[in-house]
A and B are shown apart, each in its own frame.
Chain A
Amino acid sequence: GAVVSQHPSRVICKSGTSVKIECRSLDFQATTMFWYRQFPKKSLMLMATSNEGSKATYEQGVEKDKFLINHASLTLSTLTVTSAHPEDSSFYICSANPVTSGRQETQYFGPGTRLLVL
C-alpha cells in the first residue's frame, strides 16, 4: 500500500515551454502533497506544500508564478514549470501523506521526474 506515482518519469523540453508533472496517490487519499527538488548529489529541497482545494504554500525563494501547483483532488497534484529554462533542469519528487483516522503519518514519495530543459 501507500503508492505514489509520477508522470512523466523523464521529460526533455525546449527553453521557454511549459511542462506539467503529475503526482498521484494510487491507493490512498491525501489532503496534503509536497513537491521537492533535488539537485545532483544534493539533498531534497522542499518547494511547496500542496493542499487539496486551496492554494499551495511555497517555501521562501520559490517563485509561485513559475512553479504552478494545483491540487485538484484528494489523489492528484500537478506541478507546472512555466517558461522553463536550463537552470530549471532537475529531479522533481513529490510526496503524499495518507490521512488515516484524521492523523497524518509518514510521507510516501513518488519515483521522481527528471526534467531537462535545452
Chain B
Amino acid sequence: AQSVTQLDSQVPVFEEAPVELRCNYSSSVSVYLFWYVQYPNQGLQLLLKYLSGSTLVESINGFEAEFNKSQTSFHLRKPSVHISDTAEYFCAATNTGFQKLVFGTGTRLLVSP
C-alpha cells in the first residue's frame, strides 16, 4: 500500500532563513506527488505538484520541490521564508489512476522574527 512519511511534525525557523520540509513516499507503481498548505481554520491549498517531466517543480510564492525517484523523496524547500509562510504543510501522493490521495501527517512550519 502506498504511504507518505513526513518525519518532522514541526519545523521552527527564523524569518529569511532557508527551510526544507521532508517528504518520503513508498510506492511500487508510478506516483504523482503534491504539496498542500493549510492556514489556520482553512482548507488545503495546492502549493505545487509533480506529475511528469522536470523533476524540479516550483510554486508562485518561492517554494520548490524536487522529485527524487532513487530516494523516493519529494522534499519542499524555500531559500528565504516569511512570517506569512507559517502554516501546516502536507505532502500527498496518488498513483496514476488518481483513485486515492494519501497524505502525510503534516509538518507545521513556524516562522519567527
A-B contact count (CB 8 A): 44
With an 8 Å Cβ cutoff, the count of chain B residues facing the other chain is: 19
Give the residue of A42, A105, A106, A109 whose beta carbon is less than 8 angstroms from that of B43: A109
Most buried by B among A46, A105, A109: A109
Asked if B99 contacts A49 (CB within 8 A), the reply is yes
Residues 23-51 of chain B: 1 if any A CB is under 8 Å from the residue's CB, otherwise 0? 00000000000101000011111100101
User: How far, in Å, is B33 (CB) from chain A's closest CB?
Assistant: 11
Asked if A105 contacts B46 (CB within 8 A), the reply is no
Tell me which residues across on chain A come within 8 A of B104, comparing CB atoms. Answer: 43
Q: Is A97 an interface residue (CB 8 A)?
A: yes
User: How far, in Å, is A92 (CB) from chain B's closest CB?
Assistant: 10
Q: List the interface of chain B (C-beta within 8 A of A).
A: 34, 36, 41-46, 49, 51, 90, 98-101, 103-106
Q: List the interface of chain A (C-beta within 8 A of B).
A: 4, 6, 34, 42-44, 46, 49, 93, 95, 97, 104-112, 114
